[in-house]
Amino acid sequence: YFCNADSLSENKIYFSSNIKDVFFNDAYMQSDKHSFSGKYSSQLTKKSPYGMSIILDNPQTGQTYNISAWRYSADKTGVISASIETDQFYRSSKTITQSRNGWDMITLSFTIDKPITGKTITLYTWNEGKETVYFDDFKISIINPQSK
């Protein structure tokens, strides 16, 4: 799954992804103030701290998630997060793996290592700070246990 914040759904409510009929939420956060690639990014503020979220069905025990996004943040706040609410499962990261032109690539990798009862997993960007943060090129790869 990949979202570059440039393409919107026909109704302008969602960011389009690289997969037909798969969308990321919070397109109203689209901004042309900064972008890593293309013309737009997702602008997160203290008042609107969540963006570029996607809810995926049927997360499975043993699946590995590799997630990355480019972040532009003067105070280095802003994280990638994952949660399965019914299982009290939460992971978050602001680990920087590379930097370019004021943008930092942050990554989050995890494996669902216990049986789960949740029907969905939510993957999203979050501004946990006070200053405005921009995210671009949100990428999600899922590796199933049988393909490892």
pLDDT tens-digit profile of 33-48? 999 999 999 999 999 9
Measured between alpha carbons, how far is residue 2 from residues 49, 52, 68 in Å? 20, 10, 10
**pLDDT (mean) for 136-143:** 97
- C-alpha–C-alpha distance, residues 72 and 131, integer Å: 11
Instruction: Band the pLDDT of 114: cuts 50, 70, 90.
Output: confident
Q: What is the pLDDT of residue 86?
A: 76
The token pair that represents 27 in the structure block: 């397109």
- CA–chain centroid gap for 126, Å, is 8
Task: Encode pLDDT of 57-104 as tens digits.
Answer: 989 899 999 999 999 999 999 999 999 977 788 999 999 999 999 999
**pTM for the whole thing?**
0.93
